[in-house]
Amino acid sequence: MNLRVTIKKIADVAKVSRGTVDKVLNNRPGVSDEVRKRVMEIIDALEYKPNIIGKALANQKKPSLIGMIIPSDANPFFNDIRKGVEAAYQELSDFGVKIDCRVMNSLDVEEQLSIIKYLSDQGISALALTAIDNPAICNAINTLVAQNIPVVTFNSDITGSKRMCFIGQDLVKSGRVAGELLGKILQGKGQIAVITGSHHILAHNQRVDGFKMVINKDFPGIEIVDTIENLDQDALSFELTWALLEKFPNLNGIFIAAGGISGAGKAVKLAGKGNAIKMICTDFIPNTIELVKEGVIDFAIGQDPFTQGYQLVKILYDCLFLGRGPEKEFFYTKIDIRIKENIESNLI
Amino acid sequence: MNLRVTIKKIADVAKVSRGTVDKVLNNRPGVSDEVRKRVMEIIDALEYKPNIIGKALANQKKPSLIGMIIPSDANPFFNDIRKGVEAAYQELSDFGVKIDCRVMNSLDVEEQLSIIKYLSDQGISALALTAIDNPAICNAINTLVAQNIPVVTFNSDITGSKRMCFIGQDLVKSGRVAGELLGKILQGKGQIAVITGSHHILAHNQRVDGFKMVINKDFPGIEIVDTIENLDQDALSFELTWALLEKFPNLNGIFIAAGGISGAGKAVKLAGKGNAIKMICTDFIPNTIELVKEGVIDFAIGQDPFTQGYQLVKILYDCLFLGRGPEKEFFYTKIDIRIKENIESNLI
DNA sequence: CTGAAAGCGCTTACAG
DNA sequence: CTGAAAGCGCTTACAG
């Protein structure tokens, strides 16, 4: 009882060759309207579903290249994204997928543009990038899309482009979660401060906004006394945090929305307030993990970078081989809450 | 520049047929020792790696059946496990994988044994089950393994069997995480109680043990005043919790290690202590989600059931098609901490 | 023991 | 426009 419907079956029923069926299935030219229509009907009637394995085997002759651009700014956590990409690549390499991953040396628009051009010249079939939110980049993306090269953004999105989808964190929500956590462990009372990277970076602002929304709405007994900018730099972060502690001796909570976590942690420890001040931060880099283990940082909120890398490859693969776009525009990865007891889990 | 090493290439170099190479590769009989050795050497020298797609296409003729047994006791959260299985199945169905999933009507050893026998008679190539921890089940598993049918356990493990690996939660650690969370939001002070399902169920005991370890060690200011058994029943859970609240009027924390969460929550609400008592529980079933949204339960700790289902299929597939066992014995899924702000996320 | 051939499902030149 | 054939990499009867 072989109920599988194959191209051969369609061809037999329609009394045409398999090549012709293939043309109809994939909207290739070279079939008369009449035959196309007849074959079409049979395909529908028999509920034909293409077999991926067959497609993939035939595709071995012309492997497809996925281009990828990740920022240099190299939050070490981009390594976890690469691990996810690597895992997906292992699963899919036999399908004839190759990946060319380029790391930026700067955060320059010019550099990103030139990498996009380079990859385009290499003949990529798809592109994944942590986009710089700039009109020129937007144009470059749209040009690729116009050439039928799907583009996805990950980790950081670009507004108004024709990129297919975004894979990353719901930043506002991650800020909200931070707000609720800090509110809870302070039992709704006290003075807190926010440390952000830069007011010019959308991601940072979104986290801070989410955080403030929840504190202001759900924890009226908590006062946000200050919001400082550390430009993601540890040295500056240390200095500013130190000053903050002097200015507000009763401070009992800090939310760090971006980088410079190590610097802030050092200041808090040096002031002997590791226990008195509850701290919440984002992402799991080695310095952060250390501070969580020491008990200086109470909660670290991750964005599941592994899944970001893994899914971007999977989504692009689905698009290239199965010809189907993703079923939604935003793929939000887990808001991954960690504390001392599970900061270092080795999981699947 | 086709640098791919295929069976054809090996055959050409070794001056034998591809069929012979296939026999050598898969340790099939019918090759002289001399030829086998020579071919072997060439395979090694050329670093041949089998192409999954080729294998899979050839395998279409004889699809393999994965048997699966899940408990009836139907924590609704088993639905999420099934969703994971379904997702993996979608990805792999073209590889010729079929899954026969059986749901138990009881927690009887006899029933599980008879289902194992049934599946075995169906000619399954692999088995995944939430095992009852009993010697007869252990024997049945070992019999399958002896027939070269790999077995994995998920969600609940069985001691001493030859099952290949276990996929599920690190229960002790999940209890530890619960302990740290409750300790944190109580700021290390107060009287708390533990509600467990049954002292006879390993999983429950492990969670409770982990929880108590952390409270006793890291939070000396917190006293565990009682540990009660609700047999996973909501009615009983309500009664016992109600009595608990009367007996300990100063109680400010409860950890529920198993089911009966809704009953306990109702008692706490009815006593008007929804805010005064901090509650932590496990797994995300609709009732729990509701209580978290209401603010009665402060933290819910999940075990990523989707991944349990997804990975069990993937691991078995790797084993069947790629002939490679898993690289570790225990696959622990995420300890997924949720609060009001992210209890209902729709993520990947 | 060994090899030649057919087949898994799809795609791609190439003839006609 | 249409079809017959070869090929992607591996496996499986079947002859010899």
Nearest to A9 by CA among A47, A37, A58: A47
What CA–CA distances, in Å, run from A162 to A146, A277, B77, B127, B262?
9, 45, 38, 45, 46
Distance of CA A188 to the CA centre of its chain: 33
What CA–CA distances, in Å, run from A18 to A14, A21, A46, B261?
10, 5, 15, 59
Chain A residues near residue B95 by CB distance under 8 angstroms: 53
Give the up-direction half-sphere exposure of residue B312: CA atoms within 13 A in the CB hemisphere. 34
Under-50 pLDDT residues of chain A: 1-2
Residue of B nearest to A211 (CA): B341
Chain B residues near residue A173 by CB distance under 8 angstroms: 341-342, 345
The whole-number pLDDT of residue B136 equals 95
The whole-number pLDDT of residue B322 equals 77
Which residue is nearest nucleotide D6, judged by alpha carbon to C1' distance?
Answer: A58
What CA–CA distances, in Å, run from A156 to A170, A173, A213, A244, B111?
10, 15, 22, 30, 52
Contact: B342, A56; criterion CB under 8 Å? no
In this complex, the answer to whether residue A47 has its CB under 7 A from any atom of chain D, a nucleic strand, is: no
Chain B residues near residue A9 by CB distance under 8 angstroms: none
Backbone angles phi, psi at A154, to 5 degrees: -135, 150
From CA B307, how far away is CA B80, in angstroms rounded? 9
CA angle B84, B314, B52 (to 5 degrees): 140
The whole-number pLDDT of residue A1 equals 38
Chain A, chain B: beta-carbon pairs less than 8 Å apart: 99
Q: Interhelix angle for A33-45 vs A7-14, to 10°? A: 120
- Of the candidates A94, A341, A347, which has its C-beta nearest B176's C-beta? A341
Kindly give, in sequence order, each residue whose CB lies less than 8 Å from that of residue B177, ignoring residues fewer than 6 positions away.
A339, A341, A342, B210, B301, B335, B337
Structure tokens given for B144 = 């399958």
Q: How far is A180 from chain B (nearest CA, A)?
A: 7
Backbone angles phi, psi at B285, to 5 degrees: -100, 160
From CA A156, how far away is CA A133, in angstroms rounded? 8
- Of the candidates A170, A185, A214, which has its C-beta nearest B185's C-beta? A185
Kindly give, in sequence order, each residue whose CB lies less than 8 Å from that of residue A133, ignoring residues fewer than 6 positions away.
A156, A157, A158, A159, A202
Q: Which of residues 289-348 of B touch A (CB under 8 A)?
A: 298, 307, 311, 331-342, 345-348
Which nucleotides along chain D are within 7 A of a protein C-beta? 1-14
> pLDDT tens for residues B164-198?
999 999 999 999 999 999 999 999 999 999 999 98
Contact status, residue A255 vs residue A280, Cβ threshold 8 Å:
yes
Per-residue pLDDT of chain B (348 residues; tens, 9 = 90+): 346 799 999 998 999 999 999 999 988 888 888 899 999 999 999 999 999 999 999 988 887 899 999 987 566 778 899 999 999 998 888 888 889 999 998 878 999 999 999 999 998 999 999 999 899 999 999 999 999 899 999 998 998 999 999 999 999 999 999 999 999 999 999 999 999 998 888 889 999 999 999 999 999 999 999 999 999 999 999 999 999 999 999 999 999 999 999 999 999 999 999 999 999 999 999 999 999 999 999 999 999 999 999 999 999 998 888 777 888 999 999 999 999 999 987 767
Backbone angles phi, psi at B67, to 5 degrees: -90, 145
Residue type, A205: N
